[in-house]
Amino acid sequence: MVKRLIPFLFLLITAAVPAQKKSTLELKLEQQAKALEPQVIEWRRKFHQNPELSNRENNTGAFVAQYLKSLGLEVQYPVARTGVVGLLKTGKPGPVVALRADMDALPITERNGLPFAAMVKTNFGGQETGVMHACGHDAHMAMLMAVAKILSEDKSELKGAVKFLFQPAEEGVGPAESPAGAELMVKEGVLENPKVDAVFGLHIQSLLPSGTLNYRSGALMAAVDGFDLKVKGKGAHGATPWEGIDPVVVGCQIVDGLQTIVSRQTALTEAAAVITVGTFHAGIRRNIIPEEAILQGTIRTFGPEMQKKVHEKIKLTAAKIAEASGATADVDIQVMYPATINDAKLTAMMVPSLAKAAGKENVNVIPAVTMAEDFSFYQQKVPGFFFFLGAYPADMKLEKKPTHHTADFMIDENSFSVGVKALLNVTVDYLTYSK
């Protein structure tokens, strides 16, 4: 059904960006993107070999800031702890576009065998670990640097202004450093002075075909929240459990009960929902029933109404299951990132721009995904369009899929030129055709 809808969708939306032969500027942009492809790969590998965790992107931020200054951009650094904002003014009145790339890496030890694999080690959460760009943020930065270079060279042919947002801490931070990433960037005014009219971003996707551009109007990615759940029981000897109240058993019942919120209490035909318990800690010895158990998990929802209902159901379910056994359950829910929702009008306007970058046959409408993105904080303030760049080639023979956030993650560098062209096209077309 989705494939049958795509041609009809293009007929509806191509009026937003006039269909015509490629202009001299469009041909120039393609040539510039192609010429910069080796440099983009070089930048990406530099970032990949020197990854830095959230809010520790000191060397990364300094490198980006210096590069943007060399292009003649107005640069703010640091912003939101380690972030960078570059402003390109064309000198002519017009809209203001913001383009975003995230900078942080993850606490993962790389094992994919790449010749430029990261060898960085660090301490994270009290554990020794490697650091790895296991989500493609290295590629995002490299592509946006290329876009900044090309647009700065062509600014005489543009109107308005472009802001380049190099953002730290997309992967999140602990409570002591909250807020993180995009939320803090917004609070520090990156969408103001000059006021941004539209914000664009892409995310590389290692499991979608290389060189494809993938999007959807409305909710693209889920809201993400976390929860800490403490079950308080009564300690006892492991040989006489009837003398205590076992928080381990109660905790297991709660884990099962939480799943019925999704399967029996949520309208899944409207949108997906996920409740996952990721950690369960209790006890210190096999023959001792502990006094408490600690569970931690993640929640994924689409839209504020579903989010509110799921939060209420989690608290109610945990409390009543615990009460049935004489225990108590305290639930603390941390609201993290809202859903990533693409503005319908902006999406319709920009899809032809994606087609110019990759070809109509390589632009796809996709289902919503339950991963989350803090790009949503920008979209809460101004219309935004976020899309995926496929980077998994059909001939890549791997024993394990290069899944994001894993030690085996890898991407096809041949996809980068499509990403650069896509960002160029949405920017130039918006500056040219928006009213």
Residue 205 token pair? 């996707």
Say how many C-beta atoms besides its own lie within 10 A of residue 12's C-beta. Answer: 10
| Token duo for residue 30 | 């393609």
Given the residues 52, 57, 102, 104, the one annotated as active site: 104
Report which of 65, 86, 66, 63 is spatially closest to residue 74, judged by C-alpha positions: 86
φ and ψ of 20, to 5 deg = -165, 175
Distance separating alpha carbons of residues 49 and 117, to the nearest angstrom? 6
Structure tokens at 50: 């020197």
Active site includes 225?
no
Q: Are 367 and 329 in contact (CB under 8 A)?
A: no
How is residue 266 annotated by DSSP?
Answer: S
What amino acid is encoded at 389 in this protein? L
Look at the chain and count its residues.
435
**387 forms bridges with which residues in the sheet?**
202
Contact 390, 120 (CB under 8 A): no
Residue burial 64-84, b: 16+ Cβ < 10 Å; e: rest? bbebbeebebebbbbbbbbbb
Coil, strand or helix at 268: coil
Query: Cα separation of 292 and 245, whole Å?
Result: 9
Contacts of 276 (CB under 8 A, 6+ apart): 297, 298
What is the rounded distance in angstroms from the CA atom of residue 113 to the CA atom of residue 110?
A: 8
Quote the CA–CA distance of 210 and 362 in Å, as a whole number.
9
Q: How is residue 266 written in tokens? A: 């949520």
Determine which one of 102, 110, 170, 246 is catalytic: 170
Report the C-alpha gap between 71 and 88 in whole angstroms: 9
Task: Judge whether 202 and 141 are in contact, CB under 8 Å.
Answer: no
User: Does the annotation mark 170 as catalytic?
Assistant: yes
Strand partners, 288: 237
Contact 79, 190 (CB under 8 A): yes
The C-alpha atoms of residue 392 and residue 209 are separated, in whole angstroms, by 5
What are the catalytic residues? 104, 170
